[in-house]
Chains A and B, each alone.
Chain A
């Protein structure tokens, strides 16, 4: 058995999600290789080589922004060497993995949250309202892994880095540009603390004025409910929920979020959940460890003052 983990990285280092996908690979069993594809991603390849238990790292440069068409040309020829190919269920993994699966004539397992055997997995359906246990009859596994469901594999390895060449040939897709928000805050998907705002904030100005200072005081990432994103109070990539990001921080503070099912699916695995909402019947209180009923515009400043008194 051998498993290929396709790394998520920023060029300099692999993201924490890669260690979590390696954890899923360990549960499948066999040798684990990591593929680092990108531009000037030597740093990321070196950091992948340090993950414990990895056999080798394949490093392909000249892969630009990992467009799905290029990744397909790179990964499909490698597939002969592997019984399973795993991606993190982030926007890159979700974009690329099904292309590989289709080329290999494999039905992909999306967003798996547990591995019960080499071909048996648990994954959420219906926005996390049900869990399905599936067994694949395909000769190979192609899957995306929900990183929050796994404990990261730490450092301690010293795998060899093997350089492989990027595929040649013209692509029918080209990268034009990107607008990535620059932020000193931690990345939402992997943050230890998350402060999220909902529709009760009422405007994007108030969202910024109430949610962001509390997040910064806590060193937290900022999230939002789908309702807040739909209303234009927060950008789409803040969205926590089944159609947005799934997070599982140590502390999740939901402010003015009623707790629609699709939001709960994105945060219910958080260690401690705090809800602040003026409606004491709001569904969010049914899953919150600590609920505070009242007007968020009064309570959040009070909370900030109390945190400051406590030295936070």
Chain B
């Protein structure tokens, strides 16, 4: 079975976010960009399925600028077989990404698409669900555990209050949550091998998709700063303050 894994290039999760002084967006110039952590979990899960013999081919896809090739290379070094870069400069919203992915799914015929549940830049948490709707496929979002059989996949999902298990007919969409797995680091030989793996370059027009944003960004600002308070010396002083000053006890 073929698996498609979309991966997104985002500001490295260790870096501090700076809002541009003209409020037009977040300053990304000269900063380290990496694969979105939830996408790493998606790649890892696909590679584990291949190691188990359930999956035969993993295609890593990225929708983004030229440099998103590096993100695809990271997926190839982790164990994906080939890549597709859909080259777009500027922001692409989840709806447009889902439409492009629909075109790729129709061309490639995977049985599973595994995506991160959200990207840590726009925090939308939409693309997987949108792709499922556009394809008319079932979805297992926020996956904690997967069990793939020949005609169905059982997904244990992280939901408010605990876990929920659903059974989905294949083909299906999976989105990953934090505890699904611990992504591997690519080894040096695998990084070298990944350089030889093929990456096709496409354009949104190849799938008939217009990527013009539907949401116009009017401004991007820093959140209001919360002022720090005081340090207290003892638990007794803390209880006194909570009771008599803050009035929350």
Contact = CB atoms under 8 A, between A and B. Distances in A.
Interface of A: 65, 67-69, 72, 90-92, 94-103, 105-111, 120, 124-138, 171-181, 187, 189, 193, 226, 229-230, 235-237, 242-243, 245, 250-251, 261, 268, 271-274, 280, 285-293, 299, 302-303, 305-307, 309-310, 312
A132 B220 contact: yes
A180 B161 contact: yes
B181 interface: no
A80 to B, nearest CB: 17
Nearest to A103: B133
| Interface residue tally on B, bucketed by range | 35 or more
Interface in B191-249: 213-223, 226-232, 234-236, 238-239, 241-243, 246, 248-249
Interface stretch (B61-69, B80-88, B106-114, B136-144): B136-144
A138 B213 CA distance: 10
A307 B222 contact: no
A294 B162 CA distance: 33
User: Which applies to chain A's interface (DSSP): helix, strand, loop or mixed?
Assistant: mixed
Given A124-B223, A173-B138, A306 B160 contact: no
11 contacts: A105-B95, A108-B126, A132-B219, A133-B219, A133-B221, A138-B214, A172-B168, A174-B167, A181-B161, A236-B158, A242-B123
B160 A91 contact: yes
Contacts of B134: 102-103
Contacts of B239: 303, 306-307, 309-310, 312
Contacts of A176: 154, 165-167
A38 to B, nearest CB: 14
A213 B174 CA distance: 38
Given A127-B120, A302-B234, 10 more contacts: A91-B158, A95-B141, A99-B130, A102-B134, A125-B123, A126-B123, A128-B223, A129-B223, A178-B163, A180-B163
User: Which applies to chain B's interface (DSSP): helix, strand, loop or mixed?
Assistant: mixed
Contacts of B221: 130-131, 133
Contacts of B214: 106-107, 136-138
Interface in B155-173: 157-169, 172
A177 B141 CA distance: 15
Nearest to B164: A178
A101 B17 contact: no
A172 B169 contact: yes
Contact of B139 (A99, A181, A273, A307): A99
Contacts of B162: 178-181, 235, 237
B178 interface: yes
B184 interface: no
Contacts of B243: 310
Contacts of A103: 133-134
| Most chain B CB inside 10 Å of its own CB: which residue of A72, A101, A226, A271 | A101
Contacts of A128: 223
A268 B226 CA distance: 7
Contacts of B163: 178-180
A134 B215 contact: yes
A108 B213 CA distance: 11
